[in-house]
Structure 1
Amino acid sequence: MTIRGSIDELTPLAASGWAHDDRASEPILVQAMINGAVIGEAIADLNRPDLAAAGLGDGRCGFHIAFGAAIDPSQLAFVAVKPSRGDVELPRTNLTGYIDAFRAMRARHPGVGWSRSIFGGLWTDRVDARRRLAGRVAIGAISQENAGPLGRFIESGHVLLGGALAPAGFDIRMTEAVARLPAGPLSPRGSLDEADVLTALPGLLFRDAPLGLLRGAFDDNPLVCRAELMRGTTRFAQPSTAEPLPAPTECAALVTGIGEGQLLLDIVRDSHALPEFTPDGESRWLARGGATLALATAAAASTETIGLGADDLAVIGPGTLYRLRVPEGMTALVALATPNRQTPLRFLTGESGDFTIRHGSGAVLSL
């Protein structure tokens, strides 16, 4: 049997595509499967003029397989379509070809750790991250003090560093300067208030607790390449889409509240471990708008709410979905940190990177 074909569309309800056997006189039966269980089947006999024009018989080799029941979107990456009399899976078009390659590699080497993304990423996003953390602690590469927060970061995709900015975060003068500024990204070309706030940021963000966590997660000193003030209730977002980066999986958001009150941080639980691709075949690390949130909602994800005071700092991993609820009279500061080895894409095009403060620790603020 010589089979050619592909999966052209895949949704929680059905799979569509084409399959053609060069040696068969009749259309073939194709089956959709998850973990070896058949979830639907169909005869590949739908008319496809484009395939006829390509020389594939009379073109009647298309298929549409309706699943017996809707599947969880988180399982889309594991749907296989095969001829009923063979074991060869049909490849995918414009969907998850990367996953097909990874699936074969993982089947051959099941004990090897791997990243959850085709983009690679931080070691904290690997499936063997806990084992790697224990090894790093054992050889002294990560201190016992930082092992606890890093473990929580691995487990949940975020970590709250209570009191990390003590005694009081920004001083009164800086708090008043922040209150006078509009919401949005801080610019070094802005007002004197913006310049004052940016100058104060390294001393605030690069204190021992966040610096130790970021160094451990990044295997490098951190580079803060974006700082933004937010008020009111924000939409759900993830750090990996906040800034164009060569490696979107290598970043983290630092969040703190400025002023009197308590900033509320809503986290979509386990969103850092969502499947690589959305139902539309787009990597969750690059999805804009609500695509990734839609995937989380379809997967019946729940949220947890964390309260942050003026001396608390939350560190949020690249794929974690979050939103802020900022009370009136308070401002949220969100800073995007990447490893120092990263160069944001806008820096490479000459749009930014002309304002740089190097901290004594080796960390850098560059906007």
Structure 2
Amino acid sequence: MTIRGSIDEITPLFAAGWAHDDRAAEPLLVQAMVNGAVVGEAIADASRPDLAAAGLGDGRCGFRIEFGAPVDPGQLAFVSVKPDRGDVELPRTNLTGYVDAFRALRARHPGVGWTRSIHGGLWTDRADARRRLAGRVAIGAVGVETAEPLGRLIEAGHVLLRGALAPVGLEARAAEAVARLPEGPLSPRGSLDEGDVLGALPALLFRDAALGLLRGAFDDQPLVCRAELARGVTGFAQPSTAEPLPSPTECAALVAPVGEGRLLLDIVRDSHALPEFTPAGESRWLAGSAASLALASAAGASLDTVLLGETDLAVIAPGTLYRLRVPQGMTALVALAVPNRQTPLRFLTGEFGDFTLRHHSGAVLAM
């Protein structure tokens, strides 16, 4: 049996491609499998004029396999398509956006932890993150009080630290300055009000609960390299595309309310677990990319809404899609934190990086 073919498109609902056997009189039956279980099958007899033109018989060798139930987006890299009664696994074209070498390595070594991105990333995004967390707690690398919020960050892609900014959020002078400033990024070269707010950020963001969580997730001291003010309803965003970074998979967004009331944080459920690429090959880690929204829509994602009071702090993982709904009279302070080993690209190009505040804990704010 001489079989050729490929998987050209894959989504949580179906896999499509082609399969052709030079010697077979009948079209092939192909099956989609996840972890050894068949999740759908189809006859590869759909017309493909492009394949006919390439000399593959009459070109009737295309297939579209509808899955019996939606496949978890995080498992799409493990969907295989094989001819019935055969062991040949069809390769993936570049259109599927996955690197087969990584798939093969992961399949042969299922016990080895791997991240959802070929770029790597934080250990909290690894397949074995829960086991690693338990090990870190056992050896004392992560405190028991930090283990619970870190576990929630691993599972949900975000965590709300209730009362982390108690007894009050920003000091009065900085809060008044926030109320006078327009929304948008804060600049150390801006007004005196911006200077007052930036000067108050280390004492606000590096309190014990947040600092312990970030140190645990980063394996390093945190560095805040971006801060901005948001009002009204923002568009959906993810921390990894907020700032040009050498490793966009190593970051977190911190959201703190300023003012009396409650702001709403909408999270696209399980968006941190989306695959790295769309079926068209677009990476969700690219700045300005709509890939995450496209993947979330394909997966039929829904929203979780979290309410933040003035002493609460939300920590959002790199690939998590979120938006803010800020009531009138309030402002959301959004800061981008990365491990201290990171260097934002604008620092390397000499645009910024001449403003640094060091917290007594060792954490840093650099703009």
**Superposition TM-score tier, normalisation by shorter sequence:** 0.7 to 0.9
Cα deviation 1:326-348 (Å, max 9, x = unaligned): 01011100001010111122222
Is 1:223 matched up with 2:223? yes
Distance 2:156 2:307 in 1: 16
Counterpart residue number, 2:16: 15
Distance 2:67 2:142 in 1: 47
Residues 343 and 60 (structure 1), Cα distance of their counterparts in 2 relative to 1, 3 Å cut = farther
Distance 1:44 1:297 in 2: 27
Counterpart residue number, 2:44: 42
Counterpart residue number, 1:29: 28
What is the CA distance between 1:176 and its match in structure 2? 1.3
Q: How does 1:140-151 map to 2 (within 5 A)?
A: 140-151=140-151
Q: How does 1:1-367 map to 2 (within 5 A)?
A: 1-10=1-10, 12=13, 15-16=16-17, 21=22, 24=23, 29=28, 31-35=30-34, 37=38, 38-43=40-45, 46-48=48-50, 52=54, 57=55, 63-68=61-66, 72=70, 74=73, 76-83=76-83, 86-96=86-96, 98=98, 100-286=100-286, 288=288, 290-367=290-367
What is the CA distance between 1:50 and its match in structure 2? 10
Residues 18 and 351 (structure 1), Cα distance of their counterparts in 2 relative to 1, 3 Å cut = farther
Distance 1:351 1:19 in 2: 55
Cα deviation 1:265-287 (Å, max 9, x = unaligned): 11222222233333433333337
Q: Which amino acid letter does the alignment assign opposite residue 125 of structure 1? A: D
Q: Which amino acid letter does the alignment assign opposite residue 225 of structure 1? A: C
CA contact (8 A) 1:263 1:308 kept: yes
Give SS of 2:140's match.
coil
Of stretches 300-309 and 287-296 in structure 1, the one that deviates more from structure 2 is 287-296
CA contact (8 A) 1:91 1:97 kept: no
Distance 1:304 1:25 in 2: 51
Distance 1:115 1:25 in 2: 40
What is the CA distance between 1:63 and its match in structure 2? 4.1
Distance 1:305 1:45 in 2: 46
Q: Which amino acid letter does the alignment assign opposite residue 16 of structure 1? A: G
Gaps of at least 5 residues in structure 2 are none
Q: Which amino acid letter does the alignment assign opposite residue 46 of structure 1? A: R
TM-score normalized by the length of structure 2: 0.87
CA contact (8 A) 2:249 2:319 kept: yes
Q: Which amino acid letter does the alignment assign opposite residue 33 of structure 2? A: I
Residues 363 and 59 (structure 1), Cα distance of their counterparts in 2 relative to 1, 3 Å cut = farther
What is the CA distance between 1:245 and its match in structure 2? 1.6
CA contact (8 A) 2:164 2:210 kept: yes
Distance 1:346 1:358 in 2: 20
Give SS of 2:315's match.
strand
Gaps of at least 5 residues in structure 1 are none
Q: Which amino acid letter does the alignment assign opposite residue 64 of structure 2? A: A
CA contact (8 A) 1:48 1:60 kept: no
What is the CA distance between 1:110 and its match in structure 2? 2.3
Give SS of 2:44's match.
strand
What is the CA distance between 1:119 and its match in structure 2? 1.9
RMSD: 2.8
Distance 2:216 2:240 in 1: 19
What is the CA distance between 1:71 and its match in structure 2? 6.5
Distance 1:297 1:148 in 2: 30
What is the CA distance between 1:156 and its match in structure 2? 1.8
CA contact (8 A) 2:46 2:63 kept: no
Give SS of 1:110's match.
coil
Q: Which amino acid letter does the alignment assign opposite residue 70 of structure 2? A: D
Of stretches 108-117 and 330-339 in structure 1, the one that deviates more from structure 2 is 108-117
Cα deviation 1:207-249 (Å, max 9, x = unaligned): 1111111011100001111111100011122111111222221
Deviation beyond 6 Å, 4+ runs, structure 1? 25-28
What is the CA distance between 1:324 and its match in structure 2? 0.7
What is the CA distance between 1:81 and its match in structure 2? 3.7
CA contact (8 A) 2:30 2:84 kept: yes
CA contact (8 A) 2:244 2:287 kept: no
